[in-house]
Amino acid sequence: MARRIVITSGKGGVGKTTCSALLGAELAKLGARVVLLDCDVGLNNLDLAVGVETLVNYDIVDVVESKCRIRQALIQHPKLPLLYILPSAHCNNTGKVTGENINSILEELSKTFDYILIDCPAGIGMQFHNAVFGASEAIIVTTPHLIAVRDAGKVAHLLCGYNLVSVGLVVNRIRNDLISKKFMLSSEEIASSLDLKLLGTIHESDQITAVSSVYGNLFSIKDNTILDFQKLAKNVHLCKSQEILPRGFWGIKRKKGV
């Protein structure tokens, strides 16, 4: 049975797709069978982030419309054989994929994979709910910026309405130089303000910026952020035994009005 982890945030552009791709790669390097499910219908870009955009023949909408089987739409990563991608579509009709559709895809994928990382679209509309609907766990990604943190808090609140066994936090684009000058909150401070378990800290990376600007494929980066993603993958992997613990173990105590 796969762990179905939705990577969500509320605010767009905070690094959900980046984290889905690089966390997935590191989990696969640990020996897990991983599938990345792009649930951002209409604004799909996970295929580009992992460098398989030229290998896409079918997408999630084709699966939902029974134009192909799930395994026909799955792309095995050419460099990481344990990593697969189920791409999303660039159609305008985001209503084509429902939460039930995604859930049945998850059920099918669960038979074959250890991890399903669900790359959630930005916002808290129907597509957000569809992506969260079949998940068993959630990782909220935020940057240290107040607007993103606030949205992360709102999403954490919304996630309380779902039957998730755990909700963890990843703080992305951290800069130690700014933290030491007190111009940026640390990831620990952010996790504490949101009352969420901190699963990982990802530093600001010029290589991620450069690669995503001119090349697309994040798997070519070689700087220290790879170590951040390795740590994150180990933390996620280690949390396996916590699946059986009651919800709330990771400490979601909502504050009034968040």
Ligand X SMILES: Nc1ncnc2c1ncn2[C@@H]1O[C@H](COP(=O)(O)OP(=O)(O)O)[C@@H](O)[C@H]1O
Q: Please give the single-letter amino acid code of residue 202.
A: I
Q: Is residue 209 at the binding interface for ligand X, with CB under 6 A as the rule?
A: yes
Q: Please give the single-letter amino acid code of residue 153.
A: G
State the residue for tokens 């250890």. 114
Of the ranges 7-15, 50-58, 62-70, 104-112, which one interacts with ligand X (CB under 6 A)?
Answer: 7-15
Element (H, E) at 29: helix 16-29
State in angstroms the smallest separation of the CB of 249 from ligand X.
26
State in angstroms the smallest separation of the CB of 253 from ligand X.
25
212 binds, among ligand X, Mg ion, none (CB under 5 to 8 A by kind): ligand X
Residue 32 three-state SS:
coil
What's the rounded Cα separation, in Å, for the pair 208 and 121? 20
Q: Is residue 9 at the binding interface for ligand X, with CB under 6 A as the rule?
A: yes
Of the ranges 16-24, 25-33, 89-97, 182-190, which one interacts with ligand X (CB under 6 A)?
Answer: 16-24
Tokens of 29: 């390097």
Tell me the longest C-alpha to C-alpha distance in the chain: 55
Query: Order of strands, edge to edge, in the sheet holding 3-8?
Result: 75-76, 83-86, 34-38, 115-119, 3-8, 137-142, 166-174, 197-203
- Do residues 19 and 159 make contact, with C-beta atoms less than 8 angstroms apart? no
Residue 50 three-state SS:
coil
Could you say which of 3, 18, 133, 190 contacts ligand X (CB under 6 A)? 18
Among all residues, whose Cβ is closest to Mg ion?
A: 17
- Do residues 205 and 221 make contact, with C-beta atoms less than 8 angstroms apart? yes
Could you say which of 4, 16, 37, 75 contacts ligand X (CB under 6 A)? 16
15 binds, among Mg ion, ligand X, none (CB under 5 to 8 A by kind): ligand X
Tokens of 60: 């999630």
Element (H, E) at 201: strand 197-203
Of the ranges 88-96, 179-187, 188-196, 200-208, which one interacts with ligand X (CB under 6 A)?
Answer: 200-208
Element (H, E) at 114: none
Q: Is residue 117 at the binding interface for ligand X, with CB under 6 A as the rule?
A: no
Among all residues, whose Cβ is closest to ligand X?
A: 212
Of the ranges 8-16, 71-79, 90-98, 250-258, which one interacts with ligand X (CB under 6 A)?
Answer: 8-16
Binding site for Mg ion (CB under 5 A): 16-17
Tokens of 70: 């799930």
Q: Is residue 15 at the binding interface for ligand X, with CB under 6 A as the rule?
A: yes
Q: Is residue 204 at the binding interface for ligand X, with CB under 6 A as the rule?
A: yes
Q: Is residue 212 at the binding interface for ligand X, with CB under 6 A as the rule?
A: yes
Q: Is residue 187 at the binding interface for ligand X, with CB under 6 A as the rule?
A: no
Q: Is residue 14 at the binding interface for ligand X, with CB under 6 A as the rule?
A: yes
Q: Is residue 72 at the binding interface for ligand X, with CB under 6 A as the rule?
A: no
